[in-house]
Chain A
Amino acid sequence: MADFLLAAAGFVLATVAMGLVRILRGPGDDDRIMAAQLLGTGGIAALLLLAQTMRVPAAVDVALILALLAAFVSVAFVKGFTRPGADGA
């Protein structure tokens, strides 16, 4: 079972890394932030799988932090993107 979970973590990371091509291709900034968002979610999934495989319970805490930071990245992006004075997005 540990081998399978490790393989699943590798698979998820590989698919998310493929999604990073969208950062290169664009075309818009919102497409790029979407790929970063997918990296955040995939990273959480991989960390949870690794925490179980490697018997490192602290990795679940790292996943929680990653979830928090991934949300803040996109909120910061949207705040920076909308003009000040637009209706408070």
Chain B
Amino acid sequence: MSLALDALTFLAVSAGAFFFLAGTVGLLRFPDALSRLHALTKADNLGLGLIVLGLLFQVQWPFAALKLISVWLLTLLAGATVTQLIARTARPGGPPE
């Protein structure tokens, strides 16, 4: 049982680390600000989500697990809001009047 949980953690954390790598590569390589923002949100939402998912198999239910989930939800909410705000300033014509 513990081995299976460790394997799930291994898979999810590895996938999360891969998405962080993808986010960084996108931030460095993509040509314009809006596509870089697109790459950044992948790292924000999916990378952190997968790492939290991997850690869920290692912590005690319910409080430690719920806390991890709440960290992820706060990041999702903040990330989605902030991405919209940054996209307004990154528009080619500047922020809308």
Contact = CB atoms under 8 A, between A and B. Distances in A.
Contact of A8 (B17, B79, B82): B17
Interface string B64-86: 10011011001100110110011
A6 B54 CA distance: 13
Contacts of A60: 64, 67-68, 71
Interface in B31-49: 33, 36-37, 40, 43-44, 47-48
Interface residues of A, number: 45
Interface residues of B, number: 45
| Dominant SS among interface residues on chain A | helix
A16 B24 contact: yes
Interface of B: 6, 9-10, 13-14, 16-17, 20-21, 23-24, 27-28, 33, 36-37, 40, 43-44, 47-48, 51-52, 55, 58-59, 64, 67-68, 70-71, 74-75, 78-79, 81-82, 85-86, 88-90, 95-97
Interface of A: 1, 4-5, 8, 11-12, 15-16, 18-19, 21-22, 28-31, 33-35, 37-38, 41-42, 44-45, 48-49, 52, 57, 60, 63-64, 67-68, 70-71, 74-75, 77-78, 81-82, 86-87, 89
